[in-house]
Amino acid sequence: MIYPKQFEEKTGFDRIRQMLKEKCLGELGHKQIDRMRFRSSFEIINKLLDQTESFRQLILAGEHFPVSNYYNPHEVFKKIRPDNTYILPEELVEIWLSLKTIDEIIKCFRKKDKNGNLSYPSLSVLAENIDINAEIFERIESIIDESGEVLNNASEELKNIRKNKSSNIKKAGNRINRILKDVKKKGLISDDLELTIRNGRQVIPLPAAHKKSIRGFVHDSSATGQTVFVEPEEVFEINNEIRELEIAEWQEIVKILTNFANFLRPHIEILKKAYRLMGIADAIRAKALLAIEMGGMKPKINPYPTISWIKAVHPLLFFSFKEQNRVVVPLDIEINEEQRILIISGPNAGGKSVCLKTCGLLQYMLQCGMLVPMAGHSETGVFNNVFIDIGDQQSLENDLSTYSSHLYNIKFFLKKADNKTLFLIDELGSGTDPAIGGAIAEASLLGLNKTKAMGVVTTHYSNLKALGGKIPGVVNGSMLFDTKNIKPIYKLKIGIPGSSFAFEIAKSINFPQSILKKAENIAGEKQVKFDYQLHDIESKKNELDEKERELRSAEVFLNEMIEKYQKLSEDYQTRKNEMIQKAREEAQEILNNTNRLIEKTIKEIRESEADKEKTKELRKEIEKHSKQIDDKLKQKHVKKEAKKEKNDYNIIPDKSPVKQGDFVRMKGQSITGEVLEVKDNNCIVLFGEIKLKTPKDKLEKVKISKGKQQNKKTAVEVKFGFDINEKAKNFKPELDIRGKKVDEALSVVRNYIDDAVLLKANEVRIIHGLGEGVLRVAIRDYLKTIPEVKKMESEHPDRGGEGVTYVFLY
């Protein structure tokens, strides 16, 4: 149930519906948009959302979809229901072209991927059991062309009629032109006069005095009566024959079209289903296009009532702000079993009403099967009822309401609300004496809480704010306020009540101090202190939230780095164990071979009974085997020493110019790398396994020489040169360079991107603001030169748009 009847007008959904109709391609789409309504079935809502999301993906993938000839033939179908009726040629053309469009829609919806799976299964369901008989196309194409002309070959009779007609038209033209030529030759008319048309026939204009010079039929005369228009007698007869042929031609066309109507009549019901598919596809396409424009997504849908929206935006406000090059501040809204009723407070014009209307409009859109502007990982549920009581001067429709109408609405809510109801009340209790109004509002809210309904309420009343956290199921929320600049931030914070900031706002406009002082006395010390305490709590909470966000980002990043280093350590230990095992296997092999040789030697000595020559020969063989073992051990020792010697080196600064192949280090750092490429004033340097692009002036050329004084600690310092954990801890995935000059900003961005590459960050955000676009262009031009930058794009309009560059690395 939706309440009141004017729900769509009050929430602005009527304007959303109109936007959808403007995106439709035909009347059938308009009708589907008009039929769109609030649903309370989880399965139906999910199906409708899946269809719209699939169409959104279809559009974003650049798939072909027909966008012309969206025709509504239902009046034609109604006209040919009786026998012996026919379709006009122009109607037949529209049916033909629109059926081609439907055929393309069916093919698009049934498209399969390379694995043979349906690309858009939720859309393919719509086209099930809808196939247009190929004979319909064949019959139409045998009758008419795309310009609406009935073909000569539509029937043998029509072909003969048109042949005779064409012959007679040619004969009549030749004869009348010959007569005109003779009349001119006789000087009866001037040479510049030509044939003209009267009553659909070609005639010769003659002076009235010479009208009897040609035997024929006078069709007309000029206004002065001095000129008559004569159709020669011999041409008159031919034209009569042509007229008779035209009548016969039309009769034959009617016969052909009547036969086609008789053929089509049994197919009408199937065709109606096909045209219904066209209308549905048109409506879904409109919903998908609107979703793309406003950043609409499909959140996770639950079968039970709940709201967990992240970065939700009011669509109408989004489009309004877009025209003004402004960005809507998104809202995070949470309503669930534990916090069913959200009481929003805060300053006037701080966004309370917009937040309330956002809840009502987005939930209604969702349950009408529309994608909504919020983060895709948001969650929402299904409500059976949505009730609203909106009536303030800030309403999008400027809808004024009296206190009695407020009471009537609350009465209805209390009577009809249940645990599957969402109610939205703007300025609960306003419009009457604050003490009485506040008391009735509090009692009403307690009554609604007992129904287990979920809702959002806006208020300035302190007694309602006091309910949050005190009554189970009721929670406070505040619209945040910039206390330094005395202006609203339009962000919703759940958990604390908001101050109205009445005194602060009054002071910001230089309201008379004496009046404010008197107002504080009238309000009472307790009330003023309460408002100031809310103000103070709000400010401190904002600071804590910001610090918590920073710590959370740092913790996530640090955990990723720890995980990477743990994996490296595990890999190292695995390789070490493998090497030890290999060494053991080699040693065992040597030992086994040696034992076999010794045993063989002893055996042969015994068999030869200690023959001197044989013993001498065997001794040489043992010495040879011993030497082979020594050589193998020496080779391993040489490799080990070479590796050790390779790691024993000194680093000496070199003042000569940097070129390809040189070793360099970042100024102020110890880590060394090899220059892979020098281009203009930039170098691409390989530090370990990481390539960095950096300006020459940031690098210091070094010479690496062998030395024996290098100890283990120094080697480690050369390898790393900085505390990677400290760098990871301090790194943030967001850089704000607003207000900086281009050179200064570029320097900051270079260092930041170097750190991001070094720490293997996948995505970062650079906030440069809009301004005149100079800083944005400079930053993006620089980012294009970084090999590790795979892609960059502007942020979503809700989160900064062109004022923020989102950078994707690796």
Residue pLDDT, tens place only, 390-445: 864 333 333 444 667 788 888 899 999 999 999 999 888 676 666 777 788 888 88
Confidence grade of residue 538 (pLDDT, cut at 50, 70, 90): low
The bridge status of strand 372-373 relative to strand 473-482 is unpaired
Contacts 24+ apart (CB under 8 A), 789-796: 789/753, 795/765, 796/295
pLDDT value at 57 more than 70: yes
CB count in 10 Å sphere of residue 796: 17
Confidence grade of residue 479 (pLDDT, cut at 50, 70, 90): low
Looking at the chain, the whole-number percentage of residues with pLDDT higher than 90 is 34
Confidence grade of residue 676 (pLDDT, cut at 50, 70, 90): confident
Q: Which of 246-250, 382-386, 500-504 has the lowest mean pLDDT?
A: 500-504
Query: Residue type for 367, please?
Result: Q
**Torsion-angle region of 592 (φ positive above 0: left; ψ -120 to 50: alpha; else: beta):** alpha
Residue 526 has a pLDDT of 47
* pLDDT, mean of residues 65-91: 93
Backbone angles phi, psi at 396, to 5 degrees: -60, -25
pLDDT value at 490 more than 60: no
Residue range 638-670, pLDDT digits in tens: 555 554 444 445 677 888 888 888 888 877 666
* pLDDT, mean of residues 690-700: 78
pLDDT value at 709 more than 60: no
Q: Which of 163-167, 396-400, 454-458 has the lowest mean pLDDT?
A: 396-400
More confident residue, 630 or 367: 367
Backbone angles phi, psi at 88, to 5 degrees: -70, 150
| Lookup result for tokens 């072209």 | 97
| Lookup result for tokens 């007229």 | 243
Tokens representing residue 702 in the block:
């070094």
Residue 401 has a pLDDT of 46
Q: What does the DSSP assignment read for 225-280?
A: SSEEEEEEHHHHHHHHHHHHHHHHHHHHHHHHHHHHHHHHGGGHHHHHHHHHHHHH
Give the largest Cα separation in the chain, rounded.
162
Contact 763, 733 (CB under 8 A): yes
pLDDT value at 631 more than 70: no
Task: State if pTM tops 0.85.
Answer: no
pLDDT value at 728 more than 80: no
* pLDDT, mean of residues 60-64: 88
pLDDT value at 710 more than 60: no
* pLDDT, mean of residues 459-477: 80
Residue range 577-592, pLDDT digits in tens: 777 777 777 777 776 6
Q: What's the distance, CA 86 to chain centroid?
A: 47
Q: Where are the beta strands (DSSP E) in 486-562?
A: 487-494
- Of the candidates 546, 436, 556, the one whose C-alpha atom is nearest the C-alpha of residue 489 is 546
Residue range 235-288, pLDDT digits in tens: 888 888 988 999 999 999 999 999 999 999 999 999 999 999 999 999 999 999
Query: Residue type for 237, please?
Result: E
Contact 371, 287 (CB under 8 A): yes
Q: How do the residues of the chain divide into helix, strand and coil, expressed in percent and rounded to 5?
A: 55, 20, 30
